[in-house]
Amino acid sequence: MAYRTVLIEDNQIMLERLSSVIKNAPGFELSARYKNAGDALGQMQAFKPELILLDMENERNHILLSDLKKYYPHAVLIGMSRRWDSEAQASILHAGGGGFMIKPFTAEELQETINNLSNFSQVSKSEVITFFSPKGKSGKTTLISNLGAALARRTGEQVAIIDGDLQFGDMAVFFNLTPQSTIVEASRDISFLSPVTLKTYFTPVGDNLSILCGASKPDLAEAVTMDSLAAIIHMAKNLFRYILVDLSSGFTDITATACEESNKTILMTMVNGGYEIQHMKRAFEIFQCWEDYKERILPVFTRVSPCTEEARQQYSDALGVPVYHVLPNEYLAVSSAADNGRLLINQDKNNSFSKAIDEMADEFARKVI
């Protein structure tokens, strides 16, 4: 049965264009069209609309959002704009709407938006986890790639990895990918994208894990700004239950922005017989400017040997705050897996590193942290 669709659009040319898309979209039927929500409210009852596409560029339509939802509670309400507008999207979701689209759209985009509706309600549930390290070579990418795969497998939910290590991101290498598009193109285009079109910039690896790869050359990374990265993360929340963001080491405006946007920040270091504790302490001090830093910052030490509860306790005592996890020294296993473009977690489930990652994934899934 076709979706009875009501189109509300002020601009005549756009109205004609979208009407023809809807009429030709399999599974959709154009029941009525109006110039604004005021006209539609009183008149569309007879059509029993199941889908209302609402022009959000017309300010007056915003005021009538809650009335639309009140009088047509069973209709799916989708906002439309020529550019991505996170405020308008928030109003739609707040009013109980299903999502947001960029117009003009194609029949496929309309179809996919409806298919993704269940994901739209994830906006508030979506969990963004950034991975920050004071110094480089801290085991971040190794952890993220394996944790992403473990989360996708164990939860069965949509998981994304965003490679925000802008100049030297190597997530593509870990997954053995040659991406068609990267964070650079997504940043360039972000204001014209909607969740459905943003998804095409991610490279799928498996059923429910997708990667937005980093710049192919360091000089391209300039295209990614604080604003564009924040906008990508915001929009990705419409698509994914978990979003893991890899970052370059150290504090920069980009790493700080990404951490601000996140629900949790894994603060990582690799044990190397050096100054890890001092670096972690100094980084921790900077995060203390967040009121809720105690809940949001999760310290992790990797390459710990022996990797025991006592070791975790020792690091906690030295750091002055509880260490969230210690990960074992498994250099040969993780590096040979990475060299072959494979993930240790997929290759050897019984390896101690894989087990620790599975445990971490379970904790995220159960929301015990």
Residues found near ligand ATP in the complex (CB under 6 A): 133, 136-142, 165, 249, 302-303, 327, 329-331, 334-335, 338, 353
Residue with tokens 């979209």: 25
Closest approach, Cβ 142 to Mg ion, in A, equals 8
Q: Which pair of tokens denotes residue 106?
A: 């194609």
Decide if residue 141 touches Mg ion (CB under 5 A): yes
Beta strands in the chain (DSSP E): 3-8, 28-34, 51-55, 76-81, 99-102, 127-132, 159-164, 203-204, 209-212, 242-247, 264-270, 297-304, 325-328
Closest approach, Cβ 289 to ligand ATP, in A, equals 24
The binder of 139, among Mg ion, ligand ATP, none, by C-beta within 5 to 8 A per type, is ligand ATP
Q: Are 356 and 327 in contact, with CB atoms under 8 Å apart? A: yes
What number of CA atoms fall less than 13 Å from residue 332's CA on the CB side? 1
Nearer Cβ to ligand ATP, position 135 or 281? 135
The binder of 249, among ligand ATP, Mg ion, none, by C-beta within 5 to 8 A per type, is ligand ATP
Q: Are 102 and 84 in contact, with CB atoms under 8 Å apart? A: yes
Closest approach, Cβ 185 to ligand ATP, in A, equals 22
The binder of 197, among Mg ion, ligand ATP, none, by C-beta within 5 to 8 A per type, is none
Q: How many Å is the Cα radius of gyration of the chain?
A: 23
Nearer Cβ to ligand ATP, position 119 or 141? 141
Nearest partner of 116 among 45, 219, 198, 55, judged by Cα: 198
Decide if residue 126 touches Mg ion (CB under 5 A): no
Closest approach, Cβ 172 to Mg ion, in A, equals 11
How far apart are alpha carbons 298 and 295 in whole angstroms?
8
Decide if residue 81 touches Mg ion (CB under 5 A): no
Size of the residue set binding Mg ion (CB under 5 A): 2
The binder of 50, among ligand ATP, Mg ion, none, by C-beta within 5 to 8 A per type, is none
Nearest partner of 333 among 320, 319, 343, judged by Cα: 343
Task: Name the one range near Mg ion by CB under 5 A: 36-44, 107-115, 133-141, 234-242.
Answer: 133-141
Nearest partner of 298 among 270, 321, 329, 328, judged by Cα: 321
The binder of 330, among ligand ATP, Mg ion, none, by C-beta within 5 to 8 A per type, is ligand ATP
Closest approach, Cβ 277 to ligand ATP, in A, equals 17
Beta bridge partners of 33: 7
Nearer Cβ to ligand ATP, position 167 or 191? 167
Nearer Cβ to Mg ion, position 167 or 346? 167
Q: Which residues sit at the interface with Mg ion, rule CB under 5 A?
A: 140-141
